[in-house]
Structure 1
């Protein structure tokens, strides 16, 4: 029990020490529930860190198979812009649009993935970089 506490405290200390200047990527809302009659939504993204951060945005169809999440590429829903750079202290809006003309029957579920991309040329030997990923549920109902 003591060794688990020690390991947890050590990990926390490493995260704090290595976090100076790290990205602090926030998103809102954390879920999108949209209607077929208004198939467009917006997610806001903020960068609260000290350096610019490059972000990639993708949409996947989301299903459950045997209790496990399954993400599949889709063209039924798009997000724009697909890639953006956020400067420290700034925010950006990401538009999510269902472009498919097929009628919605019940509910269609997707995941909007917002990934922090690694900084080119910022690798430091012996240092671990942690990239942030937000996975936001997006649902369209009839």
Structure 2
């Protein structure tokens, strides 16, 4: 019982000591499934925050190993632009393109990571800054 009371006190102190701020980074769609023969698609990213945010976009090859998804660097699929700054209330289009000249045999799976980057000017003592990461599945279907 003493441990529970102590844990509750620590939690309350953390909540009082600082405020939490989360950005409003949104993406759509939340998944890309490209039929055979299609090598490109796009994702929209929005900033609904009152401050500008920096965003990084990366693509990884996704494979299943022992029932868990494993992400590996790839050059077969790229995202453009890989980095962008979004002003408050604006959106940007990110192109996702399969650049490999090797035909898709069955199905290729990738993961598009859209990360909000930390802004040092917004980090203040006693606050918690929550950064957003969107993990979007990208699937290229074979013939």
Indicate the TM-score class for this superposition, using the shorter chain for normalisation: 0.7 to 0.9
Other structure's SS at 1:112 match: strand
Question: Hey, what does 1:118 align to over in structure 2?
Answer: 118
C-alpha displacement of 1:25: 0.5
Give 1:18 shift.
2.5
Secondary structure of 2:75's counterpart equals coil
8 A Cα contact 2:79 2:94, kept in partner: yes
Correspondence for 1:92: 92
The question of whether the paired residues in 1 share the 8 Å contact of 2:59 and 2:73 is answered with: yes
Alpha-carbon RMSD: 1.8
Measured in 2, the distance between the counterparts of 1:122 and 1:45 equals 21
Partner of 2:103: 103
Is residue 135 from structure 1 mapped to residue 119 from structure 2 by the alignment? no
Question: Can you give the 5+ residue segments of structure 1 that lack an aligned partner in the other structure?
Answer: none
- Runs of at least 5 residues in structure 2 that lack an aligned partner in the other structure: none
Q: Are the equivalent residues in 1 in contact too, given 2:58–2:112 (CA < 8 A)?
A: yes
**2:25 counterpart of 1:46:** no
Q: Which has the larger radius of gyration?
A: 2
